[in-house]
Chain A
Amino acid sequence: AQSVAQPEDQVNVAEGNPLTVKCTYSVSGNPYLFWYVQYPNRGLQFLLKYITGDNLVKGSYGFEAEFNKSQTSFHLKKPSALVSDSALYFCAVRDLYSGAGSYQLTFGKGTKLSVIP
């Protein structure tokens, strides 16, 4: 079974400050990790993914995420927060070898990011 934990329901950060949204995961094999963002009354928008390779992954809108295998973490980061970054952020995981074709993503409960002007 695979699972994702986002330990913070809400993160508040001042505009211009760095932000971090935390995510830890559990899979039986190698992980395939994602971050999505959801704005009010909208679907999920893809930010970035990790499959293999460099532990620091760069994505859309200046976001990046750091994969740490020993800590089973995949924290989302941005050097300088914008008010427009305020949204709901979801971490998701899939076991890379969970069966041909099946692409079940398991999501965390989400973290609400509020960037304060």
Chain B
Amino acid sequence: ETGVTQSPTHLIKTRGQQVTLRCSSQSGHNTVSWYQQALGQGPQFIFQYYREEENGRGNFPPRFSGLQFPNYSSELNVNALELDDSALYLCASSLQFPGLSNEQFFGPGTRLTVL
């Protein structure tokens, strides 16, 4: 196990609702990234937070937003849910310094179903 935890494990919402997913990073890691993995696809990068600031964003609309807290835990918020938002959402943590990148360690994911 990586030490990255996510909650909840599963979640069912309806279109138009809002959802918050949570992630606890591996101890000592200062960077968290969020990915969306649709069924049968590879993970797609949503955004990354480094020291509590957004540090890169993929091709996702503004209704996907996030936070990173001083203890390096993180939230992913999705507003106005759409059916296509149904996916496995993965959180990954890593230890970064400027100019140096290390591998990311993934949590088990949150399975979101939008009805």
CA gap between A106 and B107 in the complex, in Å: 17
Given A94-B101, A100-B99: A45 and B42 interface contact (C-beta under 8 Å):
no
Contact call B90/A103, Cβ cutoff below 8 A: no
User: Which of A11-19, A36-44, A61-69, A71-79 lies at the interface?
Assistant: A36-44
Contact call A103/B96, Cβ cutoff below 8 A: yes
Contact call A44/B90, Cβ cutoff below 8 A: yes
Contact call B55/A101, Cβ cutoff below 8 A: yes
**Chain B neighbourhood of A104, CB < 8 A:** 33, 45, 48, 56, 58
Q: In the complex, which residues 75-102 of chain B have their Cβ closer than 8 Å to any Cβ of chain A?
A: 90, 92, 94, 96, 98-99, 101
* Chain A interface bracket (under 10, 10 to 19, 20 to 34, 35 or more): 20 to 34
B31-64 CB mask vs A (1 if < 8 Å, else 0) is 1010100001111110010100001101000000
B3-35 CB mask vs A (1 if < 8 Å, else 0) is 010100000000000000000000000010101
Contact call A110/B42, Cβ cutoff below 8 A: yes
* Chain B interface bracket (under 10, 10 to 19, 20 to 34, 35 or more): 20 to 34
CB distance from A28 to the nearest CB of B (A): 16
Contact call B42/A90, Cβ cutoff below 8 A: yes
**Chain A neighbourhood of B90, CB < 8 A:** 43-44
CA gap between A21 and B25 in the complex, in Å: 30
Q: Give B contacts to A, CB under 8 Å.
A: 2, 4, 6, 31, 33, 35, 40-45, 48, 50, 55-56, 58, 90, 92, 94, 96, 98-99, 101, 103-109
Known: A46-B106, A104-B58. 20 other contacts (CB 8 A): A4-B42, A43-B4, A43-B106, A44-B43, A45-B106, A46-B104, A49-B103, A90-B42, A94-B101, A100-B98, A100-B99, A101-B50, A103-B55, A104-B33, A104-B56, A106-B45, A108-B42, A109-B41, A109-B42, A110-B42
